[in-house]
Every structure is written in C-alpha cells, then in structure tokens.
C-alpha cells in the first residue's frame, strides 16, 4: 500500500481501532450483515467462471461466500488486522479466496476481474471518483459491479436510537447531524443521487439503485445485553459518550435495555435497516 495514500486517516483508523474492534466482535457483525451477503449473491449470481474483486472485504465473509459459489475471489482492504483474519478464515475453511492490504483509490488491484463486489466497503474513500475509476479500470468490458451501502442515518433506527438516547443525557450535546454526511463515513452514500453521479463519471453504466431493507440481528448471541454493548460501541456514540461522565453511559445502558426489549425475537434484538443495493455495468 502506498504510504502517501490520501486515505491515511481511514487507514490509521481501520488499522488501529476499527479493524481490531471488528475482528474482536466478528461473530456479531457477521450475523448482523448476513442478509446483505444474500442480496449480493442473488444480484451477481457468481459462478466458477467469474473472477471477483471484493472491495473493503473486512475479515472476508463476502469473499468466502462468493468463493463458496465457485468464483475466483480476491479481497482488498485498508486494514491489516482484518486482512490477517480473512487469510486465517480462508486457510481454516480451505477456501481459494486471496486477500491483500490495498488502497482502492491508488493501488494496482490486479485483474482483470469480471465483477466487483462490496458489502459496506465503499463509503470510506476520500476521493470516491478516483476509487470507482480504479475499479472500472480493472474490470472487463461489460463487467459487473454490485455493492450495498447504507441509506441515510435517519432511516436506520439501529444507529439513530443509541445516538438520541446519549444525546438526551448530555447537558450540552453537539448538534445532531442532518441531511447528507460529507466525507468518509458509513452514511456517505446515503443519497442515491450522489451515488449515481459518482458512478456516472467513473466508467460505469446501466446503474440501478434499489432499496435493500432487511431486519438485522443486533448483539450476536448475547440478546439485549449484546445489542446494548454493540450500540454503545459505535464510533459516533463513543464520541458522544466522551462528552459526559460515567453516569451517562450507565444511564444510557438502562434506557437502551428498555428500548430494545420490544424488539426481542427468540432471544435476539431485531431492528429494521435501510441500505441501497447498487448494480452497474462496465
């Protein structure tokens, strides 16, 4: 990976904080995001003849799922800890998927590929136009693109509820975000028109943007306690908690335990979600 990458802030975060946290809570995130892997598999229908690039592959769940369908898969991510875990998982399962640390904006990605896929890995680019141009350059003519990205934060109560609870407990909370959130962040592609404008200018055509709104499991196998821990571990919520004392966290845990209780089904907190399923052709 190029040491001069313009994504240095993101690289540092996913190396030192985000990546290790996701690996620690691997089972929780895998269970939460499984419906989106199902959506991507249905959209791209991988086969043994397909060469796939998985962008922002994390600890490799989507790559391994596509490889299980027979595709030849190469996953890339900024986070060395997550790539290390992806390689471990591939070795354990005997998967043919390969993995590398890379910045999709600036690095050579190999290929050529028949398809590019991403499960919530495309919202963190300093320069999304450069990134999608690089993806297109490594994809064959008429090759395919498929990714999921979150709709706006306000359409995702699994994220907004914890923030609102903590914000209400603070004496002087920072202003709540409203509208599109600029810069690299989980909701950077919440505006479908923005997504379309990026793809239109980077070598992609036949763009389709459809709602993908599964109910998601929170907290892994740990019920309400797990959902509360997950909710308070999000980066936005942790920033809010840092503005208060320990009593704010304690009270937030109590309130979220009450708020999540109506969403428990068979011991698991299940919440609505809202993403976009984006597909296109090279």
Please check whether residue 111 lies inside any domain of the structure.
yes
Virtual CA dihedral for 256, 258, 263, 265, nearest 10 degrees?
110
Contact at 8 Å (CB) between 72 and 95? no
Please check whether residue 92 lies inside any domain of the structure.
yes
Please check whether residue 222 lies inside any domain of the structure.
no
**CA distance readout (Å), 209 to 38, 144, 168:** 17, 14, 35
The β-bridge partners of 265 are 268
The pLDDT profile of the chain, 282 residues, written as one tens digit per residue, is 444 546 788 889 899 988 999 999 999 999 999 999 999 999 999 998 899 999 999 999 999 999 999 999 999 999 999 999 999 999 999 999 999 999 999 999 998 999 999 999 999 999 999 999 999 999 999 999 999 999 999 999 999 999 999 999 998 887 776 656 667 899 999 999 999 999 998 999 999 999 999 999 999 889 999 999 999 988 889 889 998 899 999 999 999 999 999 999 999 999 999 999 999 999
**Environment class of residue 108 by beta-carbon count within 10 Å: exposed (0-12), middle (13-18) or buried (19+)?**
exposed
Contact at 8 Å (CB) between 202 and 136? yes
pTM, two decimals, is: 0.92
Number of domains in the chain: 1
Please check whether residue 196 lies inside any domain of the structure.
yes
Phi-psi bin for 51: left (phi > 0), alpha (psi -120 to 50), beta? beta
Virtual CA dihedral for 85, 122, 76, 278, nearest 10 degrees?
100
Please check whether residue 206 lies inside any domain of the structure.
yes
155-160 long-range contacts, CB within 8 A, separation 24+: 155/190, 155/274, 156/272, 156/273, 156/274, 157/271, 157/272, 158/216, 158/218, 158/231, 158/271, 158/272, 158/273, 159/186, 159/234, 159/236
Please check whether residue 85 lies inside any domain of the structure.
yes
Please check whether residue 141 lies inside any domain of the structure.
yes
Phi-psi bin for 60: left (phi > 0), alpha (psi -120 to 50), beta? left
Give the CATH number, domain containing residue 116. 3.40.50.150
Return d(Cα 79, Cα 58) in angstroms, integer.
7
User: What's the domain range around 23?
Assistant: 8-154+180-217+274-281
**Environment class of residue 78 by beta-carbon count within 10 Å: exposed (0-12), middle (13-18) or buried (19+)?**
buried
Please check whether residue 49 lies inside any domain of the structure.
yes
């Amino acid at each position: 990976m190029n040491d001069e990458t313009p994504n240095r802030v993101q690289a540092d975060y996913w190396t030192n904080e985000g990546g290790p946290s996701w690996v620690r809570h691997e089972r929780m995130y895998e269970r939460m995001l499984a419906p989106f892997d199902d959506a991507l598999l249905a959209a791209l229908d991988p086969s043994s003849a397909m060469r796939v690039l998985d962008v922002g592959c994390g600890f490799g769940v989507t790559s391994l799922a596509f490889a299980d369908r027979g595709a030849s898969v190469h996953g890339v991510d900024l986070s060395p800890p997550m790539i290390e875990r992806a390689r471990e998982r591939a070795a354990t399962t005997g998967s043919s998927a390969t993995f590398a640390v890379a910045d999709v904006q600036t690095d050579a990605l190999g290929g050529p590929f028949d398809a590019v896929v991403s499960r919530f890995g495309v919202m963190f680019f300093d320069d999304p136009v450069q990134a999608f141009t690089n993806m297109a350059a490594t994809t064959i003519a008429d090759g395919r693109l498929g990714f999921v990205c979150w709709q706006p934060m306000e359409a995702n109560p699994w994220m907004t509820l914890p923030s609102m609870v903590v914000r209400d407990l603070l004496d002087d909370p920072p202003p709540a975000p409203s509208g599109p959130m600029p810069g690299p962040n989980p909701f950077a592609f919440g505006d479908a028109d923005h997504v379309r404008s990026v793809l239109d200018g980077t070598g992609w055509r036949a763009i389709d943007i459809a709602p993908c709104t599964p109910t998601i499991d929170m907290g892994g196998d740990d019920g309400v306690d797990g959902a509360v821990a997950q909710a308070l571990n999000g980066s936005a919520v942790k920033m809010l908690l840092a503005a208060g004392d320990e009593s704010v966290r304690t009270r937030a845990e109590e309130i979220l335990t009450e708020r999540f209780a109506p969403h428990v089904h068979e011991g698991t907190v299940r919440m609505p979600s809202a993403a976009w399923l984006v597909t296109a052709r090279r």
